[in-house]
Amino acid sequence: MGTIKSKIFSFSSAIALAAVITQFTFSEISLAADTPAAHVATDNVTVVQDSLIQRLPKAELHLHIEGTLEPEMMFKLAEKNKIKIPFSTPDQVRKAYEFTDLQSFLNIYYQGTDVLQTSEDFFDLTWAYLTKAHKDNVKHVEIFFDPQTHTQRGIPFKTVITGIQKALDKAKDEYQMSSYLIMSFLRHLSEEDAFKTLEQALPYKNQIKAVGLDSSEVGNPPEKFRRVFEAAREEGFLTVAHAGEEAPPEYVWQAINLLKVKRVDHGVQSIKDPKLMKYLKDNKIPITVCPLSNIKLRVFDTMKDHNLKQLLEQGIVVTINSDDPAYFGGYLNKNYEACKENLPLTDEDLVTLAKNSFNASFLPDAEKEKYIKEIDKIVIAQ
């Protein structure tokens, strides 16, 4: 995500300010006349660089660290580690990022991870993401990592988690950014293999907050991993799962009823089932939506077709996230900006989404409340 140039917002007139003094409403918020929003078109999605989005503290809850591998870093690591990759330049890599569905993305995604060989590589990868997140005013991250992607090619579990954790610790010290790790099982592999990965993770229980489920969704329903999720819960891990990205609402039901998830990743197909929508709303089960990802993988044809605003209006605890931003064209703020411009979202929607990002997190209640109050202060301070 590029640097946001417009960093302040104010009320448009003294009249609006007077109205705020008597009765504050979101409709009275506007961008300052001398700091207009900058419009940018990228990958056929129009985004507007918005100062309110930049000012709001946010949490990111759906981010695959392997999906932050930018082409330049891919080439740098390939050269360092003497790994052959089927591309000649970073631009050639970007041209390959034209996906028709989830599987076409995964094919190149797993190929790219071959360059990650050492603990230092995983540190560099994670630190690069955290630096970008900090620029987007992200205060808390809950990061997915896929150990099976690496252990299957001979990289020790310890190598992966040590490098990632070192970067998370640095972000805490330098950026005051909190973080949790979510270990994700690959659903195209067997449950037996997932059990082996769970066993490998046990020495690092204090570093892993939750387990998740990702990779090829259709044909690999949550019920396939019922036993390993039960075992993970018994070990004290929280649970989440990708469900309802491309697959039908039944996958979301399975994630809730069989895997006992605390939140649903993606979940956009839930809107096709009114009973499921009511259940999500009544039980305040959050869904971590990834707008630019959904467009890039053809879940929706255009951003204007995305159902995020409908989900929000129907009372679902929706959050905005970047998923695999190196592949999908945007980090967190760009996802917010694309939604604001194309759905469109109001300033009130943006504030709700920022608050949702903390309320849907695994942070302690006191930490959630701290950030909610910070958001409220930003809204009423000007």
Q: Where are the domains of the chain?
A: 57-358+375-381
**Phi then psi dihedrals of residue 223, to 5 deg:** -60, -25
Q: Reply yes or no on domain 57-358+375-381 having CATH 3.30.450.20.
A: no
Distance of CA 80 to the CA centre of its chain: 29
pLDDT on residue 361 = 99
Residue 305 in marked binding region: no
Residue 134 in marked binding region: no
Which residue out of 66, 217, 245, 246 is catalytically annotated?
Answer: 245
Contact indicator for 69, 113 with CB cutoff of 8 Å: yes
Q: Which stretches within 34-96 are classed as H helix?
A: 51-55, 71-81, 90-95
Contact indicator for 195, 231 with CB cutoff of 8 Å: yes
Query: What CA–CA distances, in Å, run from 134 to 163, 166, 348, 380?
Result: 19, 16, 23, 23
List the one residue out of 226, 216, 222, 268 whose CA is nearest residue 241. Answer: 222
Is 206 exposed, middle or buried (CB count within 10 Å of its CB: 0-12, 13-18, 19+)?
exposed
Specify whether 245 is catalytic. Answer: yes
Q: What is the pLDDT of residues 302-335, one digit of tens each?
A: 999 999 999 999 999 999 999 999 999 899 999 9
Q: Which stretches within 65-118 are classed as H helix?
A: 71-81, 90-95, 102-112
Residue 188 in marked binding region: no
Angstrom distance (rounded) from CA 283 to CA 252? 14
Residues of the chain with pLDDT under 70: 1-49, 381-382
List the one residue out of 178, 188, 196 whose CA is nearest residue 232. Answer: 196
**CB half-sphere exposure, 57, CA atoms < 13 A:** 22
